[in-house]
Amino acid sequence: MLVAGAGIGGLTVALALAKKGKQVRVLEQAPVLGEVGAGLQLSANAMKVMRHLDLEKAIKATAFAPQNATIRDYESGEYYLRTPLGEVAQQRYGAPYLHIHRADLHALLVEACVQHGVDIELGQVVRGYRNEGNKATLLLDHGSEKADVIIGADGLRSTIRETMLGVQAPIFTGQIAWRGVVHKDAIKDVSIAHDACVWVGPKRHFVSYYLRGGDLINFVAVEERAEWLEESWSHQGDLQQLRRLFSGWHPEVTGILSACESTFVWALNGRPTLPKWHDGRAVLLGDACHPMLPFMAQGAAMAIEDAYVLANLLVRDPVEAALPRYEELRKPRATEIQRISRENAGLYHMYGGLSGKLKLKGIGLATKLIPAIANVKLDPIYGYDVTSVTL
């Protein structure tokens, strides 16, 4: 089997297949294997898959367990929402909620893949595919490769998707995101809460959380823009401009930005729901078929869930049956979480001005009086266990 793309989703599906005895090759266009320096959140639904792949212990050793998920006012620091994580989430959802450096998770997946015989080949630029009876051919810059199935885990600008459905530019959402990682000791005169925190304000918000056992702090700052021409995930950002954007915000926010030495900025792009995720013996996974806005922190988790389902179906069933069943199982859930993530943008950016702020206050009051209200939204996401779903 061939996997196009050696990101989190591609390596997870390769590992899951290899652990079931399948021969897997991962083809990656980058000349050097690695991941960008940014954090990601592994909620309980993702960690249940990692547990089945025997990676939970290794992930815990390098990750950070936040105490709460919070939404706070950009100026006063008032808590609009404070939902316990830590041991409470572990007990409620049956797995931990963790923050991990993307590069650390990537390295763990690479190591596990190699240990289980997965071939990872670099510098392989994918140009498309074609179906040929009971095989599929992956077209490369230099030559081609045949396989029983081709898995397109090649991201938002997926070549596999373009071959399947035609070329379509991503849809700019009107928002851009800045990201960076800061060492905790570089932050002066302010203590950063040990939470997964969303700081909400008019037309922008700021997310902060710890990584690597609490040594690092990751941030993502989102602002609204009329247009954005850069497509790169690693476009160098102007730190002074970023600091100006969040000038006057809470000292935890400005303290993190004051200590930051470099930042990257990228457009938040989306796509409409695709008409199909598979074609013959080619299939899409993760951002290639359902890119997620980062407003529920579920992008990596959805790719990880995809990987588990797809791998188990390909091991059990013929390709002709496995791929339609995979789409049937995964598409409704991914589409719903895409919708929730889009809706959160309005909440985080206080759409409606004062009315938006009052809405946040109302949510906060309601969850204080009836804590179960927050669980109504979070339980279907964090409590979901893809490893127990009937395939």
Q: Sorting pLDDT into bands at 50, 70 and 90, what band is 132?
A: very high
Q: In whole angstroms, give the CA distance from residue 272 to residue 338.
A: 10
Q: Sorting pLDDT into bands at 50, 70 and 90, what band is 367?
A: low
In a domain, 306, yes or no: yes
Q: Sorting pLDDT into bands at 50, 70 and 90, what band is 113?
A: very high
In a domain, 228, yes or no: no
In a domain, 260, yes or no: no
Q: What is the pTM of this model?
A: 0.93
In a domain, 181, yes or no: no
The single residue listed with the structure tokens 């199982």 is: 329
Q: Which two tokens stand for residue 43?
A: 């909620």
In a domain, 341, yes or no: yes
pLDDT digits (tens, 9 = 90+) for 234-275: 578 899 999 999 999 999 999 999 999 999 998 888 888 999
In a domain, 191, yes or no: no
218-234 burial, b for 16+ CB within 10 Å, e for fewer? bbbbbbeeeebeeeeee
Residue 230 has phi, psi (to 5 degrees) of -70, 135
Q: Which two tokens stand for residue 72?
A: 């706070």
91: containing domain = 2-169+271-388
End-to-end alpha carbon distance in the chain: 20
pLDDT digits (tens, 9 = 90+) for 67-88: 999 999 999 999 988 889 999 9
pLDDT value of position 202: 87
Looking at the DSSP bridge assignments, the partners of residue 182 are 217
SS (H, E, C) the chain: CEEECCCHHHHHHHHHHHHCCCCCEEECCCCCCCCCCCEEEECHHHHHHHHHCCCHHHHHHHCECCCEEEEEECCCCCEEEEEECHHHHHHHHCCCCEEEEHHHHHHHHHHHHHHCCCEEECCCCEEEEEEECCEEEEEECCEEEEECCEEECCCCCCHHHHHHHCCCCCEEEEEEEEEEEEEHHHCCCCCCCCCEEEEEECCEEEEEEEEHHHCEEEEEEEEECCCCCCCCCCEECCHHHHHHHCCCCCHHHHHHHHHCCCCEEEEEEECCCCCCCEECCEEECHHHCCCCCCCCCCHHHHHHHHHHHHHHHHHHCCHHHHHHHHHHHHHHHHHHHHHHHHHHHHHHCCCCCHHHHHHHHHHHHHHHHCCHHHHHHHHHHHCCCHHHCCC
Mean pLDDT of 105-114: 97
Q: Sorting pLDDT into bands at 50, 70 and 90, what band is 149?
A: very high
Q: What's the CATH code of the domain at 344?
A: 3.50.50.60
Q: How many domains does the chain have?
A: 1
Worst-scoring range by mean pLDDT, 90-99, 279-288, 336-345? Answer: 336-345
In a domain, 216, yes or no: no
Q: In whole angstroms, give the CA distance from residue 100 to residue 181.
A: 12
> What rounded mean pLDDT belongs to the chain?
91
pLDDT digits (tens, 9 = 90+) for 184-216: 999 988 999 999 999 998 889 999 999 999 999
- Count CB atoms within 10 A of the CB of residue 236: 11
pLDDT value of position 369: 43
Catalytic residues: 209
In a domain, 91, yes or no: yes
Q: In whole angstroms, give the CA distance from residue 303 to residue 277.
A: 13
